Structures are given as structure tokens and as C-alpha cells.
Amino acid sequence: MIAVMVAGACSMIASLFGTRYLITFFRNRGKGQPILGKEDRGPEHHLPKQGTPTMGGLAIVVSAFFGWIVAHIRHGLVFSNQAAIAWVGILVLSGMGFLDDYIKINKAHNRGIFWKKKSYITLAISMGIAWWLVAATGISQTISFTRYNWPGWHVPWPVWVVFAGVTIWSTSNAVNVTDGLDGLAAGAALLGFLAFTIIAYWAFRNPGIYGGIEKGVVNPLDLAALAAAFAGACGGFLWFNAAPARIFMGDVGSLAIGTALALLALATDTQILLILICGINVVEAGSVAIQMLVFKASGRKRRLFRMSPIHHHFELLGWPETTVIIRFWLIAGICVATALAIYIGDFTRLELHH
């Protein structure tokens, strides 16, 4: 447990200093976030935020990696191949987000070169990461709720690769969609990573239920350290990202966070539970899908929401931004608490039967 706490504490401290440095770095160079205007059907009520430093997600990724590495100084925590592959995936998708952010800033427009192709590129990368997990690790090729054998639907490896790839792709994009209000995505992600810290550590303490090297969760203590490191990094970043934000995370941060959450769910055999843990992200991404569906079905004449993602809809209804953020955080907290209650409830039921 000490190693997990070290990961969280070190990443939070590094994130506090790293985020503060990035604010100064980008301000001195006059590089800031462009905002979509009326011509692009963007949130023109956010135009006053234009020019705010962005790409703060760099501090999250670097700090989380630092905290995870430092935690391994503690005797008993070993590097696992699943966590290592997860990091490669996180860094690759984060790197793609960085390129997109960089192009947006230089073009002074909130749509980078990958705007129409980004979904296809991230999906291909996600499939590659999923295949690597199957090929190089002992990850369970099951679709599960709280553990590898509940419900534990075993599927052929090609099916699992597609399922896992879509999970990574959809989660990373859902976090990206959520990142539209100051602190909303970082705060929700913090709760999600804390949940995975508990889940992975619980699996480490109860290998008889959650499996060992041959089945179930592999090296859960390392996964707990990874989750704690990201929780700490999000917490440090949130200090400066809370409304009114002094820096935005950008795609470099949102894609990394979404990828990390998805890979933690896959590695801990809680893929279906991820829907609840990332409940607010599901709502945000779902609102965009529903908006597009209604718009196209009506012959491009009607929209269900005043603007999507849904957080902008509530802003246009008159809710102050901070009200939307706090209420969405509360919804995220309820979803995470419900997910943990289900996870622990299943564990308790198994213990009683034993």
C-alpha cells in the first residue's frame, strides 16, 4: 500500500510544479487555446477564454509516469508487462493529441489536421494496443463486470481485440468530449482513477478471487500504482485547471486519461463496470451521438439539445459554468460510488459463500 501512496503523492507534487511551469511557458510565448465561434457552431459564450494556455495534459502524463516510476523504488513492487504496454499506448495516443493541439495553436483554429481523420487513427492505434496485450501478456480474454469469471464471457482472441480496441477508442474520445468546461474532465477522471486504485489493490489483496498469473488480474499492485499515479497527477493539475482555469489539458491530456482508464478496466477485468466508473463521460459522448442522430433524422432541421456536448446545453439554459461543473462532478461521484458498491458487494457475496 505504501508504494501506491508514494505513486499518488509524488505524481501530485510533480503535477503541481509541472502545471505551474507550463502556464508560464505558454504565456511567455503567447500560445493559447483557440475557441470555435458562431461560424463553426461553437460555444461562443466561451470566447473570453480564448488564449488561455493549453496542453497542460503534458504535466499530467509526465507526472503520472514519474510517480509510477518512483513507486517502484519501494521493495515488492515490480514492473509488469501489462502496465508497460499500457504506458506505450498512453504515450502514443497522448503524442497524437499533442500534435493535434500544436497544429490547432499554430493555425489559431480549434480544429487540427486530424479533425476528420482522428477517429480512424485512434481506432487503429487502439486495436494495435489491444492486440499487443493479448500477444504479450496473460490478460484474460473475457468480457467481465467485476472479475474475470463474472460473467466472464470468454471470446476468441480476435473478438476480444476488437472489443478491447473499441473500448480504448470510445473511452479516450468520451473523455475528450467531456473536456469542455474548466476542471470537468480532470475532476471526473480523478474519481475514476481513485476507483481503479481501490479495485486493483483489492485484487492484489485477494488473489484467490481475482486470479493470479494463470488467470484473472496480472500484477494488480502495479496497476494500482499506475491508477494512483494518474489520480495524483489529475489532482495536481486540477489546482490550476479549476474554474476559472489558468490552463487547459488539451487533447494531449484527454486522450491520455481516456486511454489509461480504458486500459485499467481491461487489465482489472472490469470492462463492463467501466461504463459506470466513466458514467459522466458516457453521458457526454452519448449526448453528442443523440444530437447527431436527431439532426440527421430530421433532415438537418432539428436538434434535441441547444448545443452538444450536454454541458453546453445546460449553460445555454442559464446555469453558471461552475454550477454545471459541480453538479456533473456529483453525478460522476455517484456513478463511481455505485460502481465500487457493486464491486465490493460481489466480493462480499463470494466471501459469505466461502
pLDDT at 31 over 80: no
Task: For residues 168 and 192, give the distance between their C-alpha atoms in angstroms, rounded to a whole number.
Answer: 15
pLDDT, mean of residues 25-32: 81
Question: What pLDDT sits at residue 213?
Answer: 46
- Is there a domain that residue 114 lies in? yes
In the chain, the percentage of residues whose pLDDT exceeds 90 is 74
In contact, 77 and 222? CB cutoff 8 Å: yes
Q: Who's near 25: CB < 8 A, 6+ residues apart?
A: 53
- Is there a domain that residue 10 lies in? yes
pTM for this model (two decimals): 0.94
- Is there a domain that residue 298 lies in? no
Question: What pLDDT sits at residue 10?
Answer: 97
pLDDT at 145 over 90: yes
SS3 state of residue 281: helix
Task: For residues 237 and 58, give the distance between their C-alpha atoms in angstroms, rounded to a whole number.
Answer: 10
Number of domains composing the chain: 1
In contact, 67 and 10? CB cutoff 8 Å: yes
- Is there a domain that residue 67 lies in? yes
- Is there a domain that residue 259 lies in? yes
Go through 269-278 and write b for each residue having 16 or more CB atoms within 10 A of its CB, e for each that does not: bbbbbbbbbb
Question: What pLDDT sits at residue 119?
Answer: 84
Q: What is the pLDDT of residues 172-196, one digit of tens each?
A: 999 999 998 999 999 999 999 999 9
In contact, 227 and 2? CB cutoff 8 Å: no
Mean pLDDT estimate for the chain: 91
- Is there a domain that residue 344 lies in? no
Q: What is the pLDDT of residues 11-26, one digit of tens each?
A: 999 999 999 999 999 8
In contact, 133 and 82? CB cutoff 8 Å: yes
Task: For residues 277 and 189, give the distance between their C-alpha atoms in angstroms, rounded to a whole number.
Answer: 9
Domain that holds residue 109: 2-273
pLDDT at 41 over 60: no
- Is there a domain that residue 126 lies in? yes
- Is there a domain that residue 343 lies in? no
In contact, 233 and 15? CB cutoff 8 Å: yes
pLDDT at 75 over 90: no
Give the position of cell 480532470. 186
